[in-house]
Structures are given as C-alpha cells and as structure tokens.
Amino acid sequence: MSHLAEEYAKSCGVKIGNPVLKPHYFPIMYDKYITIHNDKKVQSKEYNMWPDVIELLKSKLNDIKIIQIGSHGEERIEGVDDHVPTNSLKQCSYIINNSLGHVGIDSVPVHIASALDKPVVSIYAHTYADTCNPLWNKNSKFITIESDRGGRKPSFSLEEHPKTINFIKPEQIAQAVLDVLDINKTINHKTVYIGGKYMSNFVEVIPTIQTSVTAPLIDVRMDYAHNEQVLASILQRNEVEVTTKKPISENLIRSGRIKKIVYQADSFNQDFLKLLKSSAMPHVITCTSSKNLADERSKNFDTLINYLNLSDLIKTNRNKIDHKDPRSLKIKSNKKVVCGDKIYDSFFDLNDRKNLDHFFIDLDFFRVYSDSDE
C-alpha cells in the first residue's frame, strides 16, 4: 500500500520534501540515551508490554539510559530511567536530536526522529506499517515491526479487543533496538505464550491469616480459605471483590466494602442467593458441576447461572503450550497472589510448581517464556 504522505502529496500536487525542524533547547541531564514513547490517546496504538521490553534492554545497553518523552499527563512507563514530558514538539525535537535513537508506537516522535536521521524502531498493528512508516532516514537504520494480528488484516479501528499490538513479542522490539543502534548483542529470550489477561493488574489474597495488603484491585479468594475474620480486616482498608464457594455473612455483604461477589460451587445455598439479589450487589453465579447444572438452573430460573468445567479449561490450555516440560519454562504475571506474609506470581508458584493443573488454570494471566540469560 502507498504511504499516506505519498497520497497526500498526490492529492495536493506536490512532492514530499524534507521536514524543517527547529528544536528548542530543553535541559536534559544525560549524555547517552535513547527515547521511548507510548500514548493512551488511541487505545489500539498503545503497547502494554514496554516494561518487559525495557527489562530486556537494560542488561544490554550498559550505560545508555532510556528516557520516556511525550506530553504532560501521560503515564510513566515502568522501568524507564526518566520521564521527561515537554510543552512543545520543538522541545521534544531537541531531546530526540541529542539521543542515540528512538523506539515507540506510530506517533509524531517516530517521524521527528526519522526527519532528524536518528535510528528508529516503530511498531504497528491497527494499520499497515507501509502506510505510515518513517520516511526520512538516510544514514541511520530504521526497523518497523508489524503485529501478525493473528493472521487477520488491520482493523483500522481506534479501539480493539483484544489489542493486536500486544501480539508483538517484547524480545522482537528489544532486539530491533539493539540492531538499529549497531549493538552486537543477542536477546536470548523467547516468548512461548502471551495470555489475554497478562496485562491485568490485580492482587488475589488467600485469607489464611491477618494481612496488611492494600491495592486498588483485590480479589479475596474465600474459595481457597473461608475466613470471615480476615476478610473483615481486609475490608477495613480496601474495597474488594470476593470469590467464594460458601455463603458469607449478611453484615459483610451489606458492609458496602464488597464491590462484587463471584459465587462458584457445585450447588447453591438458596438463602445466600436471595441475600445477593436483595443487596443489589453485582454478582456472578457459576456452577462447577455438570451433574447439578440443569437442576440448579431449573431451581433458579430467574438467575443467570454460568458453567465452569476446570477439566476442560486445563485440557484446552494444555494445547496452547507446545513444550515438553512446562515446569522448565519461566512465567511473568501482573496478577500477584498473597498468602500470609508472602507474595507469589501465581498459584502454581505458591504450590512450588508441583501441580501443573494450577499452571494451566491461570495460563491466561501469564506471559510464558524461556531465557538462557537468566
């Protein structure tokens, strides 16, 4: 496909020239750095695994810093050495002009870097890379990375579910950065699988003993340890969701501190179901028994009852991992599991990786990888 600039030039009857940039001084305290840019304005452009990319790069860049640029109000990317928002594109141009190169989503800084003939790595998903890739690199390298989109064509949509830009593996971007900077190093990291919920940030708490945990999003797993005393303590500091297989006392339900109840069991306590309905609390009801499902739906015909078959889920997820020994693989998860005074990446880790079923039950929350450098 033609580049958008070429189409604009044809429509206007002009030729594409070289941009004229006039960078304005902006104080920057680093001598050797690359710039990085992400943006939430267009949901389908925003890449959510920059922290993973940065983690891979840090061990290879040595004394080269990673500086995030952009506008005021943009969220800081975890792992960057500094976040330097600017008031104008001229100030942004100054920072890029003094950098060793730029990496980021399809946005203005990519084209500024290209116009300044800086090495560029840019990533694309909701549109074809050829329509808006860097145009002006002459003496420097540029690499464009386009999502495979699961074999589909671009959506050209401002919002995607799931976001196909997140199909791009972190090591692809990190290796491309090293390549455009002529750093002769290899990223020995291979992503095996990226779960659809990998970017979900929340904490699951198993309420075995008193804990001082606080977090914006907490799911108290009463289905693993039914302890109302610990739940009450957690509710004093947090508004939470609760997953349970047993009824919870009315005073806790009506406390106003529980945002949602997930009630999953083989069969349901009718009084507890009535309590959930009368409290107007958001709730999800899930039957875990194929034998009882029809009977429970019949008894509770005015209630939406979902069905969860863990055996089927485990079997389905096993087919997603093409590896002889999943225990030898490494996992990253933005979901944390708190049990007592310890924090784990998953229930699989909590149980010392002994039960592979836990690995496959939580697979959707993982990025699974191998790495010979670790």
List, for residues 149-180, the tens digit of each pLDDT value: 989 999 999 999 999 999 999 999 999 999 99
Of the three residues 161, 187, 213, the one that is the final residue of a domain is 187
Give the domain extent around 343: 202-371
Q: What is the DSSP letter of 60?
A: H
Same domain? 69 vs 151:
yes
pTM over 0.95: no
Token pair 């943006």 is found at 39
Same domain? 89 vs 11:
yes
Is the residue at 195 inside a domain? no
- Report the greatest alpha carbon distance in the chain: 75
Give the DSSP per-residue string, 27-49: ----SSEEEEE--SSSTTT--S-
* SS3 call for 121: strand
Same domain? 167 vs 275:
no
Same domain? 170 vs 228:
no
Task: From residue 370, give the alpha-carbon distance in Å to each of 52, 330, 360.
Answer: 14, 6, 17
- C-alpha neighbours within 13 Å on the C-beta side of residue 22: 0
Same domain? 267 vs 160:
no
Is the residue at 197 inside a domain? no
Is the residue at 265 inside a domain? yes
Same domain? 161 vs 286:
no
Is the residue at 148 inside a domain? yes
Token pair 């028994």 is found at 289
At 374 the pLDDT is: 65
> To the nearest whole percent, how much of the chain has pLDDT over 70?
99
Q: State how far the Cα of 209 lies from the Cα of 339, in Å rounded to an integer.
A: 8
Report phi then psi at 332, rounded to 5: -125, 145
The mean pLDDT of the chain is 94
Same domain? 20 vs 131:
yes
Same domain? 38 vs 177:
yes
Which tokens hold the place of 212?
Answer: 């001082």
Same domain? 40 vs 166:
yes
Of the three residues 159, 187, 215, the one that is the final residue of a domain is 187
8 Å CB contact between 102 and 108? no
Q: Domain total for the chain?
A: 2
Q: CA nearest 93: which of 37, 180, 21, 27?
A: 21
pLDDT bucket at 2, cuts 50 / 70 / 90 = confident
Which tokens hold the place of 345?
Answer: 């990446």
Same domain? 14 vs 68:
yes
At 265 the pLDDT is: 97
CA geometry: angle at 356 spanning 353 and 357, to 5°?
125
Q: State how far the Cα of 226 lies from the Cα of 335, in Å rounded to an integer.
A: 21
Is the residue at 193 inside a domain? no
pLDDT bucket at 48, cuts 50 / 70 / 90 = very high
Which CATH number covers residue 139? 3.40.50.2000
Same domain? 161 vs 252:
no
Token pair 């074809």 is found at 128
The bridge status of strand 102-105 relative to strand 120-124 is parallel
| Tens digit of each residue's pLDDT (9 = 90 or more) over 300-346 | 999 999 999 999 999 999 999 987 788 889 999 999 999 988 999 88
Same domain? 182 vs 208:
no
Of the three residues 187, 210, 229, the one that is the final residue of a domain is 187
| Tens digit of each residue's pLDDT (9 = 90 or more) over 84-134 | 999 999 999 999 999 999 999 999 999 999 999 999 999 999 999 999 999
Residues paired with 240 in a beta bridge: 258
8 Å CB contact between 287 and 296? yes
Report phi then psi at 235, rounded to 5: -65, -20
Task: From residue 44, give the alpha-carbon distance in Å to each of 73, 111, 130, 148, 151.
Answer: 19, 19, 17, 14, 17
